[in-house]
A and B are shown apart, each in its own frame.
Chain A
């Protein structure tokens, strides 16, 4: 049974939406969005999906969605009356997996949530790949920087610097990047 954190960010009651979700077989934990600290609630409840019902998502709601997407990523579905494409784009960028306008029917809930979860997984995989590439590029830059510093310190060629770094890494059972960080730290300390 999927656990859904249902956020009511509207003045009206969400009895009908909650009933529809329970009827569709979900476990529902509901909260009033007007006063919520969303990251804290996500940490406490650990929902599989976050569902936000809002007439028009305001800046506060968007900011909390961003925080959750960054620190505790999981599928987020937004039901709203807001048609503005700009708002929709902001919501997607903030991490919303599915943005649904105009109304809810019980029989549509399961596929909407399924699609949101699948989209979320796909987005997460892509994000992970991008983060890996960024980390890898940063690492390469640090290694290049260390190599350049070593060439100056030792007045040696690029290949010699690389060999020195690698020899040190193998001797100390370390990764090359660890030795690079040590070279950079030593350079910074000596101020040369």
Chain B
């Protein structure tokens, strides 16, 4: 078939292997029932994979730990993954042995939310300041849920709480809950709030169970969020397949972001029982950037969930991979500085991604390092991850002797 979205491949792009046909044509793709999974659902169902010789079999998972285990066992060939999940698998923290992993591309940016319970609002909590006061005055510790110990939701929650001067590991309790179960846990009083992907924040509001106190994009506008991940062994064994998969998902991502109509159509598609299984009216508003926080404040968010952003979303930036390791270090998940740049260079599949994007005629960011200022005013540019990890007032870094060791370590400034 002719696909007008595909730039004809130049001779110069003929692959070294002598053929670019995928080695494996049928792939099992894991995903969680989150709006972030939209580009995988669109790629698999709307004809974006077939031009590249792929059939994508969607396999919805009930939890991130289940998805991780199936990626490792080979039951899933690739999956939607929390950025932090892929890196914790690489580093061997969080319950599975260290395994060489690959981030094929970024799937989306933005679109997560921190939500608190209706009883908390009734107790007077409606902002960061009032939460801080409540935390320090109340005799009972609040319990807040996230979706995986090393996942983005845990890290956004920790980052946001710390920016308020609430220590996430000391001043509150945290719990792991699969995203679709957040509302039931609120209803049962087992949690006082949660950080998760959408539509589950909007769902809590829709059910009268809570309100949104912060969005993830208010913490870091255009933050890295979900990735297309797999084991490194998969990339090494099936490089053409991995490239074809990137191309299929890139095309789907471009399609979703191409128009409001496409976004609305995607919201309708993914609301199906087989995918996100939530009402369209809960999914669509935030998917289109229209937020309402459950406290009467409504706005159109200029940093809403996005899947493409002219390719800015999808490059597997080194700085993005590095950032997650800095937070693992900050919160004591890593007791020593990892070899930051070596690990990020191995995991982020930059060359494969650039080949795929070039074949589709997508303009790419010139550098794999990007910078941002997060809501606490601290600037991140990836240049000195070890120092950055130690620069926070609130942390779980052990003091001497690690501290002394740290001082003796000169951070590696090399970048690939």
B46 x A176 contact (CB < 8 A): yes
A132 x B26 contact (CB < 8 A): yes
Please measure, in the bound complex, the distance between the C-alpha atom of A163 and the C-alpha atom of B79, giving whole angstroms.
27
Where chain A touches its partner, the secondary structure class is helix
B269 x A136 contact (CB < 8 A): no
Is B167 close to A, CB under 8 A? no
Which chain A residue lies CB-closest to B3? Answer: A162
CB within 8 Å of A: which of B1-35?
Answer: 1-2, 4, 24-26
In-complex Cβ contact of B47 among A143, A158, A171 (8 A):
A143
Q: B residues within 8 A CB of A147?
A: 1
Interface residues on B, range: 20 to 34
Is A84 close to B, CB under 8 A? no
In-complex Cβ contact of B50 among A128, A140, A166, A171 (8 A):
A140
CB within 8 Å of A: which of B234-284?
Answer: 265-266, 268-269, 271-272, 274-275
Q: B residues within 8 A CB of A169?
A: 45-46, 269
In-complex Cβ contact of A170 among B4, B54, B269 (8 A):
B269
Q: B residues within 8 A CB of A140?
A: 1, 50
Known: A128-B26, A132-B55. A167 touches B265 (CB 8 A): yes
Please measure, in the bound complex, the distance between the C-alpha atom of A135 and the C-alpha atom of B54, giving whole angstroms.
11
Size of the chain A interface, CB-CB below 8 angstroms: 24
Is A139 close to B, CB under 8 A? yes
B55 x A135 contact (CB < 8 A): yes
Is A31 close to B, CB under 8 A? no
Please measure, in the bound complex, the distance between the C-alpha atom of A143 and the C-alpha atom of B274, giving whole angstroms.
22
Is A152 close to B, CB under 8 A? no
Please measure, in the bound complex, the distance between the C-alpha atom of A170 and the C-alpha atom of B44, giving whole angstroms.
12
Q: B residues within 8 A CB of A177?
A: 47
B50 x A174 contact (CB < 8 A): no
Please measure, in the bound complex, the distance between the C-alpha atom of A132 and the C-alpha atom of B241, giving whole angstroms.
14
A136 x B25 contact (CB < 8 A): yes
Q: B233 → chain A, closest Cβ, in Å?
A: 16
Please measure, in the bound complex, the distance between the C-alpha atom of A37 and the C-alpha atom of B108, giving whole angstroms.
57
Q: A residues within 8 A CB of B285?
A: none
Please measure, in the bound complex, the distance between the C-alpha atom of A169 and the C-alpha atom of B252, giving whole angstroms.
14
Is B338 close to A, CB under 8 A? no
A interface vs B, CB < 8 Å? 128-129, 132-133, 135-136, 139-140, 143-144, 147, 158-159, 162, 166-167, 169-171, 173-177
Sample 12 A-B pairs with CB under 8 A, ordered by A number: A132-B26, A133-B26, A139-B50, A147-B1, A159-B4, A166-B46, A166-B47, A167-B265, A170-B266, A171-B269, A173-B268, A173-B271
